[in-house]
Amino acid sequence: MKEVQFREALREAMQEEMRRDDSVFLMGEEVAEYNGAYKVSQGMLDEFGPKRIIDTPIAELGFAGIGVGAATNGLRPIIEFMTFNFSLVAIDQVINAAAKMNSMSGGQFTCPMVFRGPTGSAGQLGAQHSQNFENWYANTPGLKVVIPSNPADAKGLLKSAIRDNDPVIFMESEQMYGLKGEIPEGEYTIEIGKADVVKEGTDVTIVSFGKIMLQCHQAIQSLEADGISVELIDLRTVRPIDYQTIIDSIKKTNRLVVVEEAWPLASLSSEISYWAQKYAFDYLDAPVTRVTSRDVPLPYASTLVDAYLPSVKRIIEAVKTVSYK
């Protein structure tokens, strides 16, 4: 094992896949000459050259469309959005072109490409730069949606995403790029669609994904000091969702708390709650509880940012609510 930053794990994944497959290339704003807005692609222009590490204008719709065209003609583009907030400019190409290409062509065309970049709040960036759209993309047949929470998963899942023949939405967090973690030495991939039981427990199941997993880990330390044994599941992929791992855990703990950063209405936690009551109703000893961001545009003030996001305190309160005995 070796310790790397989250951004370094992503870079290793792209470098290894580009060395393995000449059809893979990276395109986006500032990915080349500037070495990446968050230094994820640092050094890649020097190794692969300007034909495979391509700087673009501020024109997400345009370069997303170029990526779709390239993918349907035998290449494997990685399209980097500086933030997924900007992907809204390109959403027609993502949803009406990439996601539907295979179905509408009767299987004659595949669209093997990755749309990647940061998602969610990164501090005081205001309401237009702090949104979570993973549930939007997960609502779209034809897409896969991946949200890793640590460097090892980031590398293994991104390698799988680049090799996948379907378009993959790969969401990261600006606040995690400097996070360090151990990753395996050598070649490895992680299956898309398989959740990770990060920690086993007996009293309550917490399901989460992405950077909010960090708050879940902190909450668990406090809860276990109070005698509550928590089973923690990292979804890693929100389309497809590994429902079976969640259901199996509920059958053991009899309680479920779902934690996510998105707004509450029509969220992934809503979907998971539905599946829990449909397929594990007889095993639940308390109502499913969820912790989400507040149902407002994200304010700018730092105190309001803290009140808006799922916090360690709110996770602890949710778990204790369902853990009465």
Name residue 261's amino acid: E
pLDDT at 173 over 60: yes
Question: 20 by DSSP, 3-state: which?
Answer: helix
Quote the CA–CA distance of 38 and 322 in Å, as a whole number: 40
265 pLDDT band, cuts 50/70/90, is: very high
Parts of the chain belonging to CATH 3.40.50.920? 196-322
52 pLDDT band, cuts 50/70/90, is: very high
Residue pair 284/256 in contact by the 8 Å Cβ criterion: yes
122 pLDDT band, cuts 50/70/90, is: confident
123 pLDDT band, cuts 50/70/90, is: confident
CA dist 77 → 121, 190, 258, 297 (Å): 26, 20, 33, 33
Our answer to whether residue 129 is catalytic in this structure is yes
Quote the CA–CA distance of 11 and 34 in Å, as a whole number: 15
Tens-place pLDDT, residues 286-308: 999 999 999 999 999 999 999 99
Quote the CA–CA distance of 214 and 234 in Å, as a whole number: 11
Residue pair 206/232 in contact by the 8 Å Cβ criterion: yes
The matching CATH number, chosen from 3.90.1300.10, 3.40.50.300, 3.40.50.920, 3.40.50.620, for 196-322 is 3.40.50.920
Residues 86, 87, 89, 92, Cα dihedral to 10°: 180
Parts of the chain belonging to CATH 3.40.50.970? 2-183
Angle at 297 (CA atoms; ends 291, 298), nearest 5 degrees: 75
Q: What is the pLDDT of residue 325?
A: 52
Residue pair 174/132 in contact by the 8 Å Cβ criterion: no
Catalytic residue (one of 8, 17, 29, 60): 60
DSSP state of 95: I
Quote the CA–CA distance of 35 and 18 in Å, as a whole number: 16
Our answer to whether residue 260 is catalytic in this structure is no
pLDDT at 124 over 90: no
Q: CB neighbours of 131 closer than 8 A, spacing ≥ 6?
A: 84, 85, 119, 120, 298
Closest CA to 208 of 103, 318, 112: 318
Quote the CA–CA distance of 286 and 323 in Å, as a whole number: 8
Quote the CA–CA distance of 156 and 183 in Å, as a whole number: 9
Domain 2-183, CATH: 3.40.50.970
Q: What is the pLDDT of residue 125?
A: 87
Catalytic residue (one of 80, 129, 134, 231): 129
Neighbours of 107 (CB within 10 A): 8
